[in-house]
Amino acid sequence: MFIAGEFTGSERQRTTVTSPAAGEPVDTVPEATVADVDAAVDAAGGAFDAWRNTRASRRGELLHRGARRVLAHREELARLLTAEHGKTLREAGLEIHRFVTTLEHYAGLARELRGSHVPGLDHNTYGLIVRRPLGVVAAIVAWNFPTLLLANKVAPAIVAGNTVVAKPAPTTPLTTLRIAELLHEGGVPAGVLNVVCGGAEVGEALVRHPAVRKVAFTGTTATGERVAAAAAAGAKRVALELSGSDPFIVCEDADLDAAASAASVGRFFNAGQSCLAVKRVYCAEEALDTFLQRLLDRVRKLTVGPPTMGGTVLGPLHTEALRDRLERQLADGLESGGELLVGGERPQHAELAGGWYFDATVVSRPAHDSRLATEEVLGPVLPVWAVASLDEAMARANASPFGLGSSIWTRDLDAATYAAGRLEAGYTWINCPPRLYEQLPFGGIGASGFGKEHGHEALDQYTDSKSVVVRHRPPRAAPAS
Ligand code: NAD
């Protein structure tokens, strides 16, 4: 663990981090006790006053220096991330790069923190709306993008003057710990970012800690509901970034080649284990054959292999349990009438036998009430359905309880505008692959949660507004000349 600028934690009570590529131990980390959680929150609480009173531009500068230090260690961090997560070295490198750009984005916004002035409230009276940091923030994140999810919370939180206790997923603590150390070496003061390791119990102790003022959570909908319930005691703020099942609508007039490319990248990036991903394709009946042919041409070329091997596109799934669940969801989709178009199996190469690999898979027309349609599918399996009209596509897209991302491909501006207004999701991409931009707020609705990351909105989420009313003497009349 990393508390008050130092590594700490029990030598005896430790958790083993296992490589998803080989099923072998990578390292061990200490399991936090309740006393460790208290120590981390105390460290963050102790650092808060000095940090909030540090000039905002200086906070930005220190964050920027920390980000540069992380960038200088990009290769080392990418290898560590690949070892603990299983994502390919290329994707791990991209993630570390994105970590850095997110920190730099918010470091730049440090000079943009501001409130507002409301004139003429009353005679000789004006109002100020000042924004203030919240205090200690608990940042609890999932395993699928360990560093990116951390950046989305830590960067706006600390630039706004808060201090943080982060809890990575129990299977991916290593990169987070090293990053906390590098940020500290780069100048982020002791106690501003602390890291505790452990699972649900540690997370819950953090959420329940009375000195925590906000819980920023990324994970499943089921856990998010528990976190929100626990945070209700003490009336803590909560932001929930939860599961998703993003629809991807392809109209008859779409650029089918570009749509197929976006569907392939959007589904199979990170071995299909992204929250925002192409998870349900609804394609116009007339375009289906051509779209599928172009999609399958691409999917057949996706190389499954060890994540450290050049040329690998699909590494292993993160855990055996995830692969088991994926196989059950796929079996359900096939039993419901779905047709397997490609994949559907564990790869047979002997060198992959120790890891949790699964082939890139496309299934045509499973039942609309099958698990592939109704649940979040977190792995390399893409279901595709034909639809008779845009209205049917929209109805099917919106039938899910989730509302994270959504896409539509069409050359018809009216259809795109109609869809963007009605798709129940926090993001809609029109004719472009799903991708997040630091400038645009991101977050779900419905079972995908609430609260925004990215954009100026994220800074608002880590500050509170306070109204100040000022009455002054009437202005004196100008002296007669
Ligand atoms: P999870 O809910 O099992 O765990 C998430 C984190 O919460 C982990 O750190 C875990 O240890 C901790 N935790 C578990 N129980 C807790 C409790 N009772 N109190 C406090 N903390 C607790 O989720 P996961 O399997 O790690 O993550 C995968 C999920 O995350 C997927 O559904 C994915 O879509 C979602 N996700 C969402 C986004 C988004 O931005 N919406 C981004 C990435 C991942």
Our mutation pick for probing the ligand 1 site, out of 140, 318, 404, counting the most ligand atoms within 8 A of Cβ, is 140
How far does residue 319's CA lie from ligand 1's centre (Å)? 14
In degrees and rounded to multiples of 5, residue 25 shows phi and psi of -65, 140
What is the Cα–Cα distance from 12 to 166, expressed in whole angstroms? 22
CATH superfamily of the domain spanning 246-430: Aldehyde Dehydrogenase; Chain A, domain 2 (3.40.309.10)
Atom 39 of ligand 1: nearest residue by CA position: 241
The pLDDT, as a whole number, for residue 481 is 65
DSSP one-letter code for 350:
G
Our mutation pick for probing the ligand 1 site, out of 141, 144, 175, 241, counting the most ligand atoms within 8 A of Cβ, is 144
**Pair type for strands 361-364 and 2-3:** unpaired
Give the H/E segment covering residue 96. helix 89-109
The sign of the torsion formed by the CA atoms of 348, 351, 357, 359 equals: negative
Atom 12 of ligand 1: nearest residue by CA position: 200
Mean pLDDT by 10 residues, the chain (481 residues): 94 90 94 95 98 98 98 98 98 98 97 95 96 98 98 98 98 98 98 97 97 98 98 96 98 98 98 97 98 98 95 96 98 98 94 94 98 98 98 98 98 96 97 96 97 94 97 80 65
Alpha helices in 126-268 (DSSP H): 146-159, 174-186, 200-208, 221-232, 256-268
What is the Cα–Cα distance from 443 to 448, expressed in whole angstroms? 8
How far does residue 227's CA lie from ligand 1's centre (Å)? 10
What is the Cα–Cα distance from 77 to 67, expressed in whole angstroms? 13
The pLDDT, as a whole number, for residue 455 is 93
Atom 40 of ligand 1: nearest residue by CA position: 241
The pLDDT, as a whole number, for residue 421 is 96
What is the Cα–Cα distance from 296 to 213, expressed in whole angstroms? 49
The pLDDT, as a whole number, for residue 13 is 87
pTM of this prediction?
Answer: 0.96
Q: Which atom of ligand 1 is nearest to the CA of 227?
A: 19
Helix, strand and coil content of the chain, in percent to the nearest 5, comes to 40, 20, 35
pLDDT digits (tens, 9 = 90+) for 348-392: 988 898 999 999 999 999 999 999 999 999 999 999 999 999 999
Q: Which residue in this structure is represented by tokens 């430790």?
A: 14
- CATH code, 2-242+448-468: 3.40.605.10
Q: In the chain, which segments carry CATH 3.40.309.10? A: 246-430
Q: Which residue in this structure is represented by tokens 């000349």?
A: 481
The pLDDT, as a whole number, for residue 344 is 97
Q: Hey, is 254 helix, strand or coil? A: coil
Residues with CB under 6 A from ligand 1: 140-145, 149, 167, 169-170, 199-200, 203-204, 207, 218-220, 223, 226-227, 241-244, 275, 376, 378, 404, 444, 448
Q: Hey, is 323 helix, strand or coil? A: helix
How far does residue 198's CA lie from ligand 1's centre (Å)? 13
What is the Cα–Cα distance from 379 to 377, expressed in whole angstroms? 6
**Pair type for strands 445-446 and 402-403:** antiparallel
Catalytic annotation, residues: 241, 275
How far does residue 183's CA lie from ligand 1's centre (Å)? 24
Q: In the chain, which segments carry CATH 3.40.605.10? A: 2-242+448-468
What is the Cα–Cα distance from 52 to 241, expressed in whole angstroms? 26
